[in-house]
Structure 1
Amino acid sequence: MRGPLFPPGTPAHRTRAQRFDDLVLDVVEDLDHTWAAQLRGTEFAVEDVPPSDPAPWEDGGVPLGRFFPAEAGRPGRVVVYRRPVEVRAIDADDLADLVRDVVVEQVAHLLARTPEEIDPHFGDRS
C-alpha cells in the first residue's frame, strides 16, 4: 500500500519548512504583544538560504538572518534563513531557541535597540 503515512491537515503531515515558518510566526506574534507600534508594517520572511552577496555590515560566516530598513516607501523587513539555522540547531528545542534569538536580534537591529530590550530573555538557552 502506497500513500501518505499521515493524512493532510494533521500536524505530522507538515513539512520541515512549514514547521520552521510556524516557529518564526510564533516569535513574531510574541514580539507583537510588546512592540506592535514599532513593528507596524514590518514584513517578516523566511528564505531557504542567504544570497551569495553579503550585506556591507556582515563579515565572515553564513548569516542566519538579515534586516532591511524601511526606505523609499518600502517597509522594513526581517528575513530568517532556514537552512543555516537548522544546521546549527542540535534538536527541536534548540531550533526554537535559535529561531527566537535570530528574530529578536534582527528586530533589535531594525529598531536600533539591544536584543535584551526587545526580549529580556535573549540568549537564555535551556
Structure 2
Amino acid sequence: MRTRRRDARGPLALPGPLSPRSVPAHRTPREAFDHLVAGVLAPLAKHFDAEPDQVEVVVEDVPLLPPEWSEDVPLSSVARRGDVTLVVLYRRPLTERSGGRVDLEEQVWDVVLHRLAEVWQVSPDDLDPR
C-alpha cells in the first residue's frame, strides 16, 4: 500500500483580510531590528520633509573601532557623505544593552531622537511625537 505524504513546506502565515500579503513567519534579528527602526522613523517623517538638510538613518551591525579603543562601544554615530548626513545605529550594541523588546524600542527611540536633534540643532522633546 502506498501512502501519500503531505508537503508541509508552505507558508506558515497565509494571506488574510488583515494581512493581504501574508505575515512573515520568522524574522532574523537583523530584520526584526530594521522593522523596529522603521517603526520609530515613521512618526518622524514630517520632520524629515520639513528640514532642509538631507538626513538618512542607517543600521550597521557594529562600529569599526581601532584596536586601542578603551571606551564603551558607541550605540550610534553621525557622519557626512557628500550632502547627506548619516545617522548610524549600531544594532548589536543597542540590542546587547537592552533588557528586552520594550527596553530596546525605548532605547532606539532615545538614540534616534537625540541624534536627529543633534543634526537639526533642536531639542529632542520637540521631535518626540509620543
Indicate the larger mover: 8-17 or 21-30: 8-17
Q: Could you report, residue by residue, the CA deviation over 1:56-104 in whole angstroms, capped at 9, with x for unpaired residues?
A: xxx932111111246xx43111110000000011111111111111111
Q: Which runs of 5+ in 1 are unaligned?
A: 54-58, 122-126
Q: Please name the residue that 2:99 is paired with.
A: 90
Structure richer in strand, relative to its length: 2
**1:21 aligned onto 2:34:** yes
Structure richer in helix, relative to its length: 1
**1:68 aligned to which of 59, 64, 79:** 79
Q: Please name the residue that 1:103 is paired with.
A: 112
Indicate the larger mover: 10-19 or 44-53: 10-19
What is the CA–CA distance in structure 2 between the aligned matches of 1:60 and 1:116, rounded to whole Å?
A: 28
TM-score, L = length of structure 1: 0.73
Could you list the structure 1 runs, at least 4 aligned residues long, displaced by more than 6 angstroms after superposition: none
Q: Please name the residue that 1:56 is paired with.
A: none
- Rg comparison, structure with higher value: 2
What is the CA–CA distance in structure 2 between the aligned matches of 1:39 and 1:82, rounded to whole Å?
A: 28
TM-score, L = length of structure 2: 0.71
What is the CA–CA distance in structure 1 between the aligned matches of 2:99 and 2:59, rounded to whole Å?
A: 20
Residues 30, 119 of structure 1: alpha-carbon distance in 2 compared, 3 angstrom cutoff? same
Superposition RMSD on alpha carbons, in Å?
Answer: 2.7
- The 8 Å contact of residues 68 and 78 in structure 1, kept in 2 or not, is answered as yes
What is the CA–CA distance in structure 1 between the aligned matches of 2:65 and 2:79, rounded to whole Å?
A: 16
What is the CA–CA distance in structure 1 between the aligned matches of 2:25 and 2:46, rounded to whole Å?
A: 29
Give the AA of the match of 2:77: R
Aligned residues: 112
- The 8 Å contact of residues 67 and 107 in structure 1, kept in 2 or not, is answered as no
Residues 40, 10 of structure 1: alpha-carbon distance in 2 compared, 3 angstrom cutoff? farther
**1:46 aligned onto 2:55:** no
CA drift at 1:35: 4.4
Same amino acid, percent of matched pairs: 35
